[in-house]
């Protein structure tokens, strides 16, 4: 629409080159057109998930091609069900719903009798613990918000962190008020807690329903709250989490446990010596099936 209006005004200028009113209208339309083109490029850039490209010329054609390619790659046309049969069409949706209903949203009864204080030897001192629950400041909220990647997938509300950053002078006070409300009451509005579940392939060429894992696209306000909590506990994780847990802890690397496992396996093929046994445990969907009451009890 703006392109056609711009072309029309340019034609009018050709016919009336000294008409100031037409030139002023042309300038306004040209400004709106450039803003719309910039918004379109930003939208396609976000949807294309091209992280290495920051600034440059108009690349909408390139972004269109990447978005189309991602759409074709993410389209699920056929899957194999539990019986080894290929399923297509509307039956695909039913298979996914049935599969993920088994562990998403289900609540099991967990026995806590085995838990006692003897299991937890590492505890934080009162000074560090008090620092974790200190009052959240507006500056802390702003730092957390501005640390969120602008091109991360938004939640159901559709607002990325770029919106909050660019309009912080307007929405900043309300954002800070909402975040402080959560830390003061411990309650979160359903709208903020709402997520969009998206399926992500676990393998390069997924064929079965189990080859996909669900991830939740959270609203930016939820991400901001989570980042504040993460920033507070990050430096203390090494003091309370056992050294056997080498991943996801600052200063530790999962490579250490991999090297340790390789060293332990040296000589296992030898038949002489003490009998040996190795057990590999794979906790399927561990992060999705954890009982929240059990987790709260441990914390």
pLDDT at residue 258, rounded to an integer: 85
User: H/E element holding 230?
Assistant: helix 220-233
Closest CA to 181 of 223, 135, 147: 135
pLDDT at residue 57, rounded to an integer: 46
pLDDT at residue 142, rounded to an integer: 95
pLDDT at residue 71, rounded to an integer: 61
pLDDT at residue 56, rounded to an integer: 47
Decide if 198 contacts 217 (C-beta within 8 A). yes
pLDDT at residue 59, rounded to an integer: 54
pLDDT at residue 52, rounded to an integer: 43
pLDDT at residue 177, rounded to an integer: 94
User: H/E element holding 163?
Assistant: helix 161-166
What is the 8-class DSSP label of residue 117?
A: G
Taking only the tens of pLDDT, the chain with its 299 residues reads 767 776 776 777 677 766 777 777 777 777 777 777 676 666 655 554 544 445 444 555 665 665 566 665 667 778 887 778 888 888 888 888 888 877 776 666 666 666 666 667 778 888 888 888 899 999 999 999 999 988 787 888 888 898 999 999 999 999 999 999 999 998 888 888 888 888 888 887 888 888 888 888 899 999 999 999 999 988 888 888 888 888 788 888 888 888 888 888 887 778 777 888 888 776 665 555 667 777 777 66
pLDDT at residue 51, rounded to an integer: 46
pLDDT at residue 50, rounded to an integer: 47
Burial of 202 by CB count in 10 Å (0-12 exposed, 13-18 middle, 19+ buried)?
Answer: exposed
Structure token digits, residue 133? 């629950």
Decide if 165 contacts 147 (C-beta within 8 A). no
Q: Following CA atoms 126, 178, 49, 247 in sequence, which dihedral angle do they give, to the nearest 10 degrees?
A: 10
Structure token digits, residue 93? 């949706």
């Amino acid at each position: 629409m703006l392109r056609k209006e711009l072309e029309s005004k340019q034609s009018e200028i050709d016919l009336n080159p000294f008409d100031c009113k037409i030139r002023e209208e042309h300038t306004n339309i040209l400004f709106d057109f450039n803003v719309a083109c910039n918004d379109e490029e930003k939208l396609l850039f976000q949807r294309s998930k091209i992280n290495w490209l920051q600034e440059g010329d108009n690349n909408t054609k390139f972004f269109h091609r990447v978005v189309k390619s991602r759409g074709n790659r993410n389209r699920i046309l056929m899957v194999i069900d539990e019986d080894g049969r290929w399923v297509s069409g509307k039956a695909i949706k039913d298979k996914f719903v049935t599969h993920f209903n088994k562990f998403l949203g289900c609540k099991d009864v967990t026995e806590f009798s085995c838990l006692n204080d003897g299991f937890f030897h590492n505890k934080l001192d009162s000074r560090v613990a008090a620092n974790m629950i200190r009052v959240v400041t507006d500056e802390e909220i702003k730092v957390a918000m501005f640390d969120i990647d602008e091109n991360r997938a938004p939640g159901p509300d559709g607002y990325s962190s770029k919106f909050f950053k660019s309009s912080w002078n307007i929405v900043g006070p309300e954002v800070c008020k909402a975040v402080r409300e959560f830390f003061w009451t411990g309650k979160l509005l359903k709208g903020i807690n709402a997520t969009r579940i998206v399926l992500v392939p676990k393998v390069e060429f997924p064929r079965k329903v189990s080859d996909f894992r669900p991830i939740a696209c959270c609203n930016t306000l939820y991400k901001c709250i989570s980042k504040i909590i993460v920033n507070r506990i990050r430096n203390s994780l090494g003091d309370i989490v056992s050294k056997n847990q080498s991943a996801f802890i600052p200063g530790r690397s999962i490579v250490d446990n991999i090297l340790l496992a390789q060293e332990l396996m040296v000589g296992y093929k030898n038949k002489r010596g003490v009998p040996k046994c190795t057990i590999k445990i794979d906790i399927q969907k561990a992060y999705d099936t954890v009982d929240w009451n059990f987790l709260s009890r441990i914390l």
